[in-house]
Amino acid sequence: MADKSPRIKPGSSKINDSAADGSHRVPSGDSPPSALPQRPDPLPSLFLPDPVTTAQITDPRPSVELFAINEVAGVASPTSFADYRVPARKSLGEVDAQGVRVFKQRQYVAVSDDHFVQVVRDAESGLFRATVARELKASGPLMEPDAEGRYWRPIASGSPLDRGDAPSGLARSVDERLATLFPTMAQDARTSMHRERLTGDPLLAVARLEAQHFTLVKDLGAWTGQVPSRHPVTGLPLTNTEIAAQTASRERFAQELQDNWSRKATSANPYTPSTLDYDLDVLGSLPRLSADFSHVRELSLTSTAPLEDSTFLASFPGVRYLTLSGFALKSFPAEVYQMRELVTLTLDNCDIRLSEASVEGLAHIEQLTLLDLSNNPLGLSPDLRFMRRLDSLYLSDTGLNQVPVGLFESESLAFADLRNNEIAHLPDELFEVPDVRQVNFNFRNNPLDEATLQRVSVYMEAAGLDRKVLIQVDGEGQMQPQIAAFEGEDSGVESS
């Protein structure tokens, strides 16, 4: 077993602050102005120009300006989505990762080239809800970005307000919206997702998925442009050619992640979206994601550069088989503790150092069948006493000077690779292992003292002809009979 085992997460109440004689409505452009009383009330508009802004507006043609927002106290809850729209007449600044713009501490989303809608975060759903200035409680519909992420629209529901007076095609069914998010997913799989994941209000649930996808695209788009100006190891500035190559590498990985979230097959992962296997050529760090990748069961990432930060792993709580290689994590990734179904863990050459806390945390991932921490300066040995299912252990080139606690207690263990370490003494527990247990302990290239080597020799010589245990240490005299015994088993001859 010298070879490693294969790598086998509508508004509720309406507040009416209007005068007792009637509610204020935003005046329609088609309605003639009514006569004003001698002492006029404040103009019943959601947005009023200040004197300076008014003086500057001389061109009637559409522009990208928004009237300054006045503090209007008397505003009734609109009854049509059109009443929430604000003409775009002034720059609202750059759109953020969620597709929201902020102006005077208020949030706005674009619903067309010429109109915006003010929104607030809805506490119950976590989505954005349309509102108007001075509303104590948002009365408008929940909002969602469209498939392209350019404009926002009301989430379809049964009420005219939530439909936003939009064409009937906008009020698509839940299945149609799922098909847009997951275009290659089979109908029965979408039906299963609808039944199992879209619990409660399915419209809200699918809206959360749409918002999640929108944020994922935005987050990845921002990450692709964050190539470091200097190499993180050498400190040398990157050339324009190197920056362009790094940007292209990030774009490819970003597309891989988007496709995986949408359950699409890719050239790197052509069989199932539950596997994400990718060879990275990225400098810096991986993106921090808020999207949910809990459908991924096997995550395998190999890096050609020492990537830092394990935050990326937090989006993959459903992983069962985790492999990271070539990272620069420095410490054991705490995100692994949230992978409740993890059965194989490989963190090879990730510059990991164990602390007492991480030793204790790792010890309680009790369902592990494979643990590989090779090529890391661990400092401390892992505790194996609670890993009753552990079959394969790889701890070569880790600088350990003693064997892990519980190494010889596990009856499920079949292979333990502790080569190339600083172990000088093997404990008594090794020589209490029954010689008929089929397990291979490899201690080659360790500075074992003479007394230990002698005990190994005596133990092996005293073993019966049907022995299955193998203890590999340096020294030609020690190895020859042990190899012969294992070759006999490989020939297919059974021992009684």
28-37 pLDDT tens trace? 444 444 444 4
* Two tokens, residue 251: 């774009």
Percentage of the chain lying above the pLDDT 70 cut? 75
Task: Specify the 3-state DSSP secondary structure of 119.
Answer: strand
Q: Looking at residue 147, what is its pLDDT?
A: 66
How far is the CA of 464 from the CAs of 162, 413, 430, 467, 475, in angstroms?
A: 80, 21, 16, 5, 21
* Two tokens, residue 54: 């008014």
d(CA 344, CA 323): 8
pLDDT tens, position by position, 391-404: 999 999 999 999 99
Asked whether residue 220 is domain-assigned, the answer is no
pTM of the predicted protein model: 0.67
- Residue 429: CB atoms within 10 Å: 13
Q: Looking at residue 37, what is its pLDDT?
A: 41
* Two tokens, residue 285: 């760090």
151/162: higher pLDDT: 151
Instruction: Kindly state whether residues 279 and 157 are assigned to the same domain.
Output: no
Q: Which residues of 377-387 are buried (b: 16+ CB within 10 A; e: fewer)?
A: ebeebbbbeeb
Domain limit, last residue, from 115, 136, 168 = 168
pLDDT tens, position by position, 145-161: 876 677 888 875 434 34
Per the structure, the complete domain to which residue 481 belongs is given by 271-490
Asked whether residue 173 is domain-assigned, the answer is no
Instruction: Kindly state whether residues 441 and 298 are assigned to the same domain.
Output: yes
Whether pLDDT at 440 is above 50: yes
Arithmetic mean of pLDDT, 277-297: 96
Instruction: Kindly state whether residues 293 and 421 are assigned to the same domain.
Output: yes
Instruction: Kindly state whether residues 152 and 276 are assigned to the same domain.
Output: no
pLDDT, the chain, mean? 80
Asked whether residue 174 is domain-assigned, the answer is no
Name the pLDDT band for 125 (thresholds 50, 70, 90): low
Whether pLDDT at 63 is above 80: no
* Two tokens, residue 434: 């029954």
Q: Looking at residue 383, what is its pLDDT?
A: 97
Instruction: Kindly state whether residues 459 and 348 are assigned to the same domain.
Output: yes
Q: For helices 174-181 and 202-224, give the axis angle rounded to 10 degrees.
A: 20
CA dihedral sign of residues 44, 49, 51, 55 = negative
For 413, what's the count of Cα atoms within 13 Å in the CB-facing half-sphere? 25
Whether pLDDT at 120 is above 70: yes
Instruction: Kindly state whether residues 374 and 486 are assigned to the same domain.
Output: yes
The residue to which tokens 């809608």 are assigned: 117
- Residue 491: CB atoms within 10 Å: 7
Do you know the residue count of the chain?
A: 496
Q: Looking at residue 76, what is its pLDDT?
A: 55
pLDDT tens, position by position, 76-111: 556 678 888 888 866 677 777 678 888 877 888 888
Domain limit, last residue, from 168, 197, 229 = 168
Instruction: Kindly state whether residues 440 and 296 are assigned to the same domain.
Output: yes
Q: Looking at residue 77, what is its pLDDT?
A: 57
Lowest mean pLDDT among 11-20, 99-108, 201-210, 308-317: 11-20
Domain limit, last residue, from 168, 196, 211 = 168
Instruction: Kindly state whether residues 283 and 161 are assigned to the same domain.
Output: no
Percentage of the chain lying above the pLDDT 90 cut? 53
171 φ, ψ (degrees, to nearest 5): -80, 70
Asked whether residue 188 is domain-assigned, the answer is no
309/53: higher pLDDT: 309
Instruction: Kindly state whether residues 148 and 293 are assigned to the same domain.
Output: no
Q: Looking at residue 331, what is its pLDDT?
A: 96
CATH number at residue 350: 3.80.10.10
Instruction: Kindly state whether residues 307 and 424 are assigned to the same domain.
Output: yes
pLDDT tens, position by position, 250-266: 999 999 999 999 999 99
For residue 89, the cross-strand partners are 65
Asked whether residue 251 is domain-assigned, the answer is no
How far is the CA of 231 from the CAs of 282, 284, 309, in angstroms?
A: 11, 8, 16
Whether pLDDT at 482 is above 80: no
198/387: higher pLDDT: 387
* Two tokens, residue 467: 């022995």
User: Based on the structure, what is the number of domains in the chain?
Assistant: 2
The H-assigned helical ranges of 262-378 are 356-363
Please check whether residue 82 is in contact with residue 165, taking contact to mean a CB–CB distance below 8 angstroms. yes
Please check whether residue 386 is in contact with residue 360, taking contact to mean a CB–CB distance below 8 angstroms. no
Asked whether residue 70 is domain-assigned, the answer is yes
**DSSP single-letter state for residue 93:** -
Asked whether residue 340 is domain-assigned, the answer is yes
Chain centroid to Cα 247, Å, comes to: 20
- Residues with Cβ within 8 Å of 452's Cβ and at least 6 positions away in sequence, in order, are 424, 425, 426
Asked whether residue 213 is domain-assigned, the answer is no
Instruction: Kindly state whether residues 349 and 483 are assigned to the same domain.
Output: yes
Q: Which residues of 456-489 are buried (b: 16+ CB within 10 A; e: fewer)?
A: bbebbeebeeebbbbbbbeeeebbeebeebeeee
